[in-house]
Amino acid sequence: MSDALLEVVQAGLRVFDLGRPMFVGMPQSPNHPQFWHTLPRRHGDMVRPDGGSAANDLIVTGTHVGTHIDALAHVSHQGRLHGGADAAEAGRGGRFSDHGVHTIAPMVGRGVLLDIPAVLGLQACEPAYEITPADLAAAADRQGVAVGPGDVALIRSGWGRRFDISAEAYLGAATGVPGVGEAGARWLADRQVLAAGADTIAFEQLAPGAGHRLLPAHRVLLVEAGVYIVEALALEELAAAGIFELTFVLVPLHLVGATGSPVRPLALVAGG
C-alpha cells in the first residue's frame, strides 16, 4: 500500500491522505522559493548530564510549495484583488490583512472528485490537454454526482503519476501540462464551489514551453469568483478506489497575511 494512502478503519471510516510528501528536491514551481530542510542540531552535538540528547530542524520554504492552498491575495488582475481591493495597497507592510491565508476557515465539507481520464478512456490526460466544461460535466454525469455551492471540486488529470518519476516530468516545462482552462474555471465558478483542486503543480492547462506565463484559471477563480485553489494533490488512490463523493478536510497554517500555505488535505469516506 502506498504511503500516499492511509486506510484507517475506525468506526467504519477510511482516511485518504491527499497531500504530497515534502522533501529537498521535490517537484515544485520554479516561481517560488525552494524547499530546504536541514538539522542544525544533531544527536550528540549536545549531551545532557543524564545522557539525553535532542535533534532539531530548520525548514525554509515558500508558501506555494508541495500540496498547498492559494489564498485570494495570491493573484491580482489589472492591479486589483478579489472584490476590487487595490493589490499594492492591500500588501503594504509586507502582508495581506484582508485576503491572506489566515482568513481561510478550516474546511470540513463535501468534496467531489471529477476523474477526467476515465471519461476520455485514458490512464492520464495527454500533455497540454485542456480540460473543458464538457469534460467536467461528463465526469460528473458518469459518476452520478453533482457539483454545487460550497463543494470542493477535485480534478484528476492523471498527471500526478509523474510526481514520483522526476521533477522534470511532473513540471512538464517542455511538454506542457494538462489542466482546466479559462472556460472550465468558469464552469466551476458558476457552480459556486468553495475551492477547486488539481493533481498538477498549477491549476491550469499549460502549453509546451510556455511555463506559467498565462494563468487564466487563477484569474477566474481567485480574482473574479473568490474560489480558493489547491494544487499538487495526490488523487490517484482515491480514483482507483472509485470514490467520487467524500468529506474533504483541509486546514491551512495560520500564517497571518501570507498568500498561501502548505496543507495536508484528507478525504474521509464512510465504510471499512
CA 236 – CA 252 distance, rounded (Å)? 22
Does residue 147 form part of some domain?
A: yes
- Res 11: pLDDT: 60
**CA dist list (Å): 38 to 32, 35, 63, 72, 167:** 19, 10, 18, 31, 20
| pLDDT recorded at residue 247 | 98
Query: Is residue 246 domain-resident?
Result: yes
Any domain includes 191 = yes
Domain assignment of residue 79, yes or no: yes
Confirm whether 2 is domain-assigned.
Answer: no
Residues of the chain with pLDDT under 70: 1-11, 272
Tens of pLDDT, residue by residue over 183-195, are 999 999 999 999 9
- The reply to whether 70 falls in a domain is yes
Domain span including residue 106: 13-20+64-270
CATH of the domain at 231: 3.50.30.50
Q: What is the pTM of this model?
A: 0.93
The model's pLDDT over 17-43, given as tens digits with 9 standing for 90+, comes to: 999 999 999 999 988 999 999 999 999
d(CA 124, CA 137): 18
Look at residue 39 and tell me if it is in a domain. no
What's residue 210's pLDDT? 77
Q: How many domains does the chain have?
A: 1
Q: Is residue 1 part of a domain?
A: no
Write phi, then psi, for 160 (nearest 5 degrees): -60, -20
